[in-house]
């Protein structure tokens, strides 16, 4: 059994209070104090809280009002995602110094498959310590590392390795937690069932009614009961996870560098209205792709192939990344206004670059309902655009892509090319 420990394939690395520690790295006066990143505005949401603030009950995604009530002494720092993205890149350099098999989960979290690195760097556990030390020494940040035979167990192990909040204060974490194969089932079964991926509030309520609170309880429930309560796919999946059966591998995703859509017209188009309509459609498609991947883009480019086949491209950068079609189309229309399209356009394309993960503050907005009381006001606020975008995504997810088209794109009024013969 002991030999198996050497070859445990999976590491889960998770930074400790990542945004907070990045802020402390550049402003050491914040060390040791209760810090809340994000939530600086009235309607803000906590992106990350230091352990001192967590001790008082502050959690990510909590409203800043609630966080202030729980922890009046907390210092609120506005979030700065470009700095966090840069710190994330530095951390990933450490990961890639060990193995190319890195699956990025978020800015501060990744799975590594270290099987091919064992010969070079020693046991999985020694690789975990090496990463922890290298991240500290080269990036100046703390992380916790879980080591196990599956991704599920490695993830639970990294949580177990973290600093712990207890009644008597914050206790330093182990830093690295190895789940030996012999201990897997007892380690897994001691966890609350909510620690499993795929157990949200609704599933948890159903499991609770079956008398399940720990993963150990879940393992005792016959698969047939889980299937009748949760459906075939979800029920069998959870039954497998409860037995520690998680065969997922580390998936190497290439980071998305750009998202673009373009359209070639059958006949060269001169009419502004047609081009504008196409820009709105393309912007909508680009924005929907960004949202589906949880990304935002900062640089918006317009590509035009003109009647004489010359290629024109123009771009503009915005301060904050966006995933909203209204913002994108407005910028593209501005770019197009500076191009002479009078001889006609053969192809039009929109491309987003400067891609980054959507920050938790952007996620934290209440996307719940789209409530417009002032129907005279034509311009939608940013918040309203976001709500609308989420509503559109939901409708399309349910009824298909063509169920809803951007209002101003005038998909029905005229096909490009028809105008010529009108």
For the annotated catalytic residues, the residue numbers are 109
> Which lies closer to Mg ion via its Cβ, residue 31 or residue 397?
31
Check: CB of residue 146 under 8 Å from CB of residue 154: yes
Distance in angstroms (rounded) separating the CA atoms of residues 345 and 21: 51
Angle at 137 between CA 131 and CA 141, to 5 degrees: 80
Single out the segment in contact with Mg ion by CB under 5 A; choices: 6-14, 238-246, 296-304, 340-348: 6-14
Single out the segment in contact with Mg ion by CB under 5 A; choices: 54-62, 104-112, 264-272, 413-421: 104-112
Check: CB of residue 406 under 8 Å from CB of residue 281: yes
> Which lies closer to Mg ion via its Cβ, residue 52 or residue 323?
52
> Which lies closer to Mg ion via its Cβ, residue 18 or residue 101?
18
Distance linking the first and last C-alpha atoms of the chain: 81
CB of 93 to Mg ion, least distance (A): 18
Query: Within 13 Å, how many C-alpha atoms sit on residue 275's CB side?
Result: 29
Angle at 60 between CA 59 and CA 62, to 5 degrees: 75
Site for Mg ion in 18-77 (CB under 5 A): 18
CB of 11 to Mg ion, least distance (A): 14
Q: How far is CA 390 from CA 252, 368, 413, in A?
A: 28, 9, 26
> Which lies closer to Mg ion via its Cβ, residue 48 or residue 301?
48
> Which lies closer to Mg ion via its Cβ, residue 108 or residue 125?
108
Q: Please give the size of the binding site for Mg ion, defined by CB under 5 A.
A: 4
- 126, with CB counted inside 10 A (0-12, 13-18, 19+), is middle
CB of 330 to Mg ion, least distance (A): 36
CB of 49 to Mg ion, least distance (A): 12
Single out the segment in contact with Mg ion by CB under 5 A; choices: 20-28, 101-109, 122-130, 405-413: 101-109
Distance in angstroms (rounded) separating the CA atoms of residues 102 and 251: 7
Tell me the residue length of the chain.
422
Distance in angstroms (rounded) separating the CA atoms of residues 244 and 241: 5
133, containing H or E segment: helix 124-134
Distance in angstroms (rounded) separating the CA atoms of residues 405 and 288: 12
In DSSP terms, 347 is beta-bridged to 264, 305
Of 74, 24, 28, 21, the C-alpha closest to 52 is 74
Single out the segment in contact with Mg ion by CB under 5 A; choices: 12-20, 28-36, 55-63, 378-386: 12-20
> Which lies closer to Mg ion via its Cβ, residue 109 or residue 246?
109
Site for Mg ion in 217-236 (CB under 5 A): none
CB of 109 to Mg ion, least distance (A): 6
Nearby residues of 83 by Cβ (< 8 Å), 6 or more positions away: 22, 26
Of 290, 296, 333, 298, the C-alpha closest to 318 is 298
Query: With binding defined as CB under 5 A, does residue 15 bind Mg ion?
Result: yes
Single out the segment in contact with Mg ion by CB under 5 A; choices: 10-18, 95-103, 290-298, 317-325: 10-18
CB of 160 to Mg ion, least distance (A): 14
CB of 15 to Mg ion, least distance (A): 5
353, containing H or E segment: strand 345-353
Using CB under 5 A, list all residues that contact Mg ion. Answer: 14-15, 18, 108
């Amino acid at each position: 059994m002991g030999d198996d420990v050497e070859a445990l394939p999976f590491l889960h690395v998770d930074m400790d209070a990542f945004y907070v520690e990045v802020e402390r790295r550049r402003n050491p006066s914040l060390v040791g104090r209760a810090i809340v990143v994000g939530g600086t505005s009235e309607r803000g949401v906590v992106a990350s809280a230091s352990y001192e603030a967590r001790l008082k009950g502050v959690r990510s995604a909590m409203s800043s009002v609630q966080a202030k009530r729980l922890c009046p002494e907390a210092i609120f720092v506005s979030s700065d995602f470009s700095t966090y993205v840069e710190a994330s890149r530095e951390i990933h350099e450490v990961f890639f110094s060990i193995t190319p098999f890195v699956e990025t989960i978020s800015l501060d979290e990744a799975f590594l498959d270290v099987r091919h690195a064992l010969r070079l760097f020693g046991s999985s556990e020694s690789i975990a310590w090496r990463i922890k030390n290298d991240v500290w020494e080269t990036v100046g940040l703390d992380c916790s590392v879980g080591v196990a035979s599956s991704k599920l167990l490695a993830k639970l192990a990294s949580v177990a390795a973290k600093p712990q909040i207890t009644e008597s204060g914050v206790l330093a974490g182990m830093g690295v937690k190895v789940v030996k194969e012999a201990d897997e089932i007892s380690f897994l079964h001691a966890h609350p069932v909510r620690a499993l991926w795929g157990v949200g509030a609704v599933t948890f309520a159903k499991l609770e009614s079956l008398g399940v609170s720990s993963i150990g309880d879940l393992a005792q429930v016959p698969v047939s009961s889980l299937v009748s309560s949760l459906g075939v796919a979800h029920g069998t999946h959870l039954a497998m996870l409860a037995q520690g059966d998680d065969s997922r591998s580390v998936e190497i995703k290439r980071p998305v560098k750009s998202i673009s859509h373009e359209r070639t017209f059958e006949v060269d188009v001169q009419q502004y209205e047609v081009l504008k309509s196409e820009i709105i459609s393309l912007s909508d498609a680009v924005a929907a792709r960004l949202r589906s991947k949880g990304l935002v883009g900062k640089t918006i480019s317009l590509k035009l192939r003109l009647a004489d086949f010359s290629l024109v491209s123009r771009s503009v950068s915005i301060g904050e990344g966006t995933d909203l079609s209204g913002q994108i189309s407005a910028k593209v229309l501005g770019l197009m206004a500076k191009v002479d399209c009078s001889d006609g356009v053969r192809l039009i394309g929109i491309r987003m670059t400067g891609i980054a993960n959507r920050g938790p503050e952007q996620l934290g907005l209440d996307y719940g309902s789209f409530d417009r009381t002032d129907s005279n006001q034509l311009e939608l606020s940013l918040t309203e655009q976001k709500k609308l975008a989420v509503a559109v995504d939901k409708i399309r997810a349910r009824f298909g892509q063509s169920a809803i088209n951007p209002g101003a794109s005038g998909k029905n009024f005229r096909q490009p090319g028809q105008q010529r013969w009108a």
